[in-house]
Chains A and B, each alone.
Chain A
Amino acid sequence: MPPLVLHHLSVNYQDLRALRNINLTIHPGQLVGIFGPNGAGKSTLIKAMLGLIPRVTGRVTWGEADLSAHLERIAYLPQRSQIDWHFPATAWDVVMMGRVKPTGWLRPFAASSRRLAQAALERVGMAELAHRPIGALSGGQQQRVFLARALAQEAEIFCFDEPLVGVDQATTGIIFKVFRDLAAAGKMVLVINHDLGESITNFDQLILLNQELIAAGPRQWVLSPEHMRRAYGGEVGFWGHVA
């Protein structure tokens, strides 16, 4: 699988520059964390990369072609707050949404799609609760259902926007296990996070943002005091223990 390359990506939010000239190469087979303070443009980076919001300048290429030509290979998990959790759907319905695009227009879901959905639910430990309404699940269970949807999609590029917000310890463990397995299977796994505690050690590579790219590369190197000061300003003090 080729790397994903961002060329001169800039994005405006209303009339302000939200992301400035991001140049970045992301390799598959590694667990990549996207970090930065609030308002750093982490979600904006993912959304602009996937073409969900307009860019001012820049291209995103995957191999020879633009990433926009390969959207069916992308699984995207929105932030929790973007979802109406009272929507009339069961966990199973949500996971099957991952099979909509691969199935194609005017066709019913194939038995193979149902098997993929079932396997994905088992992988995240949610098979028994498949027929519960999503609104009746806990926050961690809801995130696992969304993870199962991404798995069922059989994507190559996985983008998760804050998948660890509001989830329990057990779910965090399951989610990171799936992430590591995906990376080990050669997939590209991008995870927005802002927890700089223990969980940061799960990532192989980090992308540190604050409206511009501060650093990207191996975790230890990115978490240098100099980089952290540039990203977080004066709050650097409590960083020492992390790296």
Chain B
Amino acid sequence: MLPEMGPIHWLLDPLQYDFMLRSLAVAVMVGIICAVVGSYLMVQRLALLGDAISHSVLPGLALAFWLGGNIFLGAFIAGVLSTVLIAWIHRQSSIKEDAAMGIVFSAFFALGITLITVIQKENKIDLNHFLFGNILGVTVADVRDTAIIAALVLGVVVLIYKELLFYSFDPMGARASGLPVGLLNSGLMVLIALTVVASMKVVGVILVLSLLITPGATAYLLVPRLHQVMILGCGIGVFASLSGLYLSYYFNLPSGAAIVLVVSALFSLAFLFSPSQGVISRYRRRP
């Protein structure tokens, strides 16, 4: 499969294709916002919520496609709706939050699969593209929409960083000091839904959780402060997204799967060799 050529050609060759340039642009932006938003999910122990929102976007995406609307918007609405529903079930009954997440996201996901299967009979859309990502599917409009979402997400996080830090570390203390924690929490849900929506073309909804959680978790093993976790996480996320796309290009793999394999490999390295927390580093420090 790999042609005989030097590493420079290996890197530059795919860049002659417009579709690859579009995918790489989206991949960089997605790598950044996933790491930033995912760091909040990780420190608040809400990894499952990331999974819930990402699976829940599917019916909105399908409906929007069917009705000829913007699929990003449809997916976003479904994602936010799922968080509202999860919170509502949790509040109105003694069902625990993780159970409510499991119930809601599998129901939304099943509805999405059903809708897409029905739609597929009339129109040609390939379900796999949304589930696992497809680098051929990224249009100019997708690049534009992703850029808008990325600017929005990063702008909000920068502007309310200190409030989000206080809230995610000590929600009770933040609330007691007068911060609107309900609003901060809703804002965070919206940011997660936006990030998932931006990621679905390149990574796909099933595997986006990996790009949300793993870069931050990897960085968490290496640096001690949240903003450092986010910045290093961005680097890890971008590296994984880009190299995943190259693997996808050369080996004809679904891009989502390739990206996830790279980021998981990076996590394994940090897990084993992190100077402070690595399993092997700790072992070697022993007398």
Does A111 touch B at the CB level, under 8 Å?
no
Complex Cα distance, B168 from A133, in Å, reads: 16
A159 to B, closest residue via Cβ: B176
Interface residues of A in 120-140 (CB under 8 A from B): 133
Q: List A contacts of B173 (CB < 8 A).
A: 76-78, 97, 149
A64, chain B: closest CB distance, angstroms: 18
A28, chain B: closest CB distance, angstroms: 18
Q: List B contacts of A71 (CB < 8 A).
A: 176-178
Please indicate which of the listed interface residues B177, B179, B228 has the most CB atoms of chain A within 10 Å of its own CB.
Answer: B177
**CB contact between A100 and one of B163, B168, B172, B224 (< 8 Å): that residue:** B163
Q: Are B177 and A87 in contact (CB under 8 A)?
A: no
Interface size in chain A (residues, C-beta < 8 A): 32
Q: Are B159 and A106 in contact (CB under 8 A)?
A: yes
Complex Cα distance, B229 from A105, in Å, reads: 23
Does B125 touch A at the CB level, under 8 Å?
no
Q: List B contacts of A82 (CB < 8 A).
A: 170, 172
B224 to A, closest residue via Cβ: A133
Complex Cα distance, B166 from A98, in Å, reads: 9
A27, chain B: closest CB distance, angstroms: 21
B169, chain A: closest CB distance, angstroms: 5
Q: Interface code A164-185, partner B: CB below 8 Å = 1, 0 otherwise?
A: 0000000000000000000000
Q: Are B176 and A89 in contact (CB under 8 A)?
A: no
Q: Are A89 and B163 in contact (CB under 8 A)?
A: no
- Chain B interface helix/strand/loop/mixed: helix
Q: Are A78 and B172 in contact (CB under 8 A)?
A: yes
Complex Cα distance, B226 from A24, in Å, reads: 42
Complex Cα distance, B178 from A71, in Å, reads: 5
**CB contact between B179 and one of A77, A88, A101, A109 (< 8 Å): that residue:** A101
Q: List A contacts of B172 (CB < 8 A).
A: 47, 52, 76, 78, 82
Does A6 touch B at the CB level, under 8 Å?
no
Does A200 touch B at the CB level, under 8 Å?
no
B52, chain A: closest CB distance, angstroms: 21
B219 to A, closest residue via Cβ: A88
B280, chain A: closest CB distance, angstroms: 21
Interface residues of A in 62-100 (CB under 8 A from B): 71-72, 74-78, 82-84, 87-90, 93-94, 96-98, 100
Given contacts A74-B176, A159-B176, contact A88 B220 (CB under 8 A): yes
Given contacts A83-B170, A88-B43, A94-B169, contact A109 B177 (CB under 8 A): no
Does B124 touch A at the CB level, under 8 Å?
no
Q: List A contacts of B168 (CB < 8 A).
A: 87
Q: List A contacts of B220 (CB < 8 A).
A: 88
A-B contact pairs, 13 of them (CB 8 A): A74-B177, A75-B176, A76-B172, A76-B177, A82-B172, A88-B220, A88-B226, A89-B225, A90-B224, A97-B174, A100-B166, A105-B160, A109-B162
Seed contacts A72-B178, A87-B169, A89-B169; 6 additional CB < 8 Å A-B pairs: A74-B178, A76-B177, A84-B43, A133-B225, A153-B177, A159-B176
Closest 10 CB pairs of A and B: A71-B178, A76-B176, A133-B224, A97-B166, A101-B177, A72-B178, A100-B166, A78-B172, A88-B226, A50-B176
Chain A residues with a Cβ under 8 A of chain B: 47, 50, 52, 71-72, 74-78, 82-84, 87-90, 93-94, 96-98, 100-101, 103, 105-106, 109, 133, 149, 153, 159
